[in-house]
Amino acid sequence: MKKDEYRHKGQRRKMIDELRALGIQSEEVLEAIDSVPRHFFLSSAFEQFAYQNKAFQIGSGQTISKPHTVAKQTELLNLEPGKKVLEIGTGSGYQCAVLCAMGYKVFSIERQRNLFEKAKPLLANMGFKPDLFYGDGYKGKDVFAPFDGIIVTCGAPEVPEALLMQLKVGGRLVIPVGEGDTQRMFTLTRTSPADFEREEHGDFAFVPMLSSRAQDQ
């Protein structure tokens, strides 16, 4: 396992200052991000750039999101520690680790088998204990519903109905919606069994969310 050295911690502190300058206000979110070594989730080719506000390829056509995107989505959840969160798209495991560092009870689904098999031991070795699943995130995880929060880490062409139905009343879905190079970030808060309050939060760039069977490559 990689080491988290003084130089990495110094680079993270600079990154935290940058995230503040970009508008991240939650000290709890910033503390969680400061506690998670992002370079653990990158290949050696990208490790020296781990604390720049950039996305990087992680294989299978997927990316690790920019730190600002991770911070913003986590901030938009706006939940207390101990709440139950479903993540759609484990990817490298970095966003999942940040959610765990926030003190949430995390369930995470990944449809690419090789990413799932990499993330599971990495997160365990770091001391995090999310419930990870290999499968189709479009369907959510109804057996563990309802959730206080659901976070989607890939661009969806539309909001999956199954995810809305798995929110508690008062729960919130954070999801980038749209096709093309950028998507619009939305939060949908369930205000009653049949009603949702929708808010927009600007443009972000994600890889597309795919609705199909899980992939073994």
**Parallel, antiparallel, or unpaired: how do β-strands 167-177 and 183-192 relate?**
antiparallel
Specify which residues 200 forms β-bridges with.
186
Name the E strands within 51-164: 56-59, 62-64, 84-88, 105-110, 131-134, 147-152
The region, left, alpha or beta by phi > 0 then psi within -120 to 50, assigned to residue 44 is: alpha
Residues marked active site are found at 65
DSSP three-state, residue 59: strand
Burial of 144 (0-12, 13-18, 19+ CB in 10 A): middle
Report the length, in residues, of the chain. 217
| Residue partners of 9: CB distance under 8 A and separation at least 6 | none
Q: What is the CA radius of gyration of the chain?
A: 16
8 Å CB contact between 166 and 147: yes
Tokens of residue 156, six digits = 């969806």
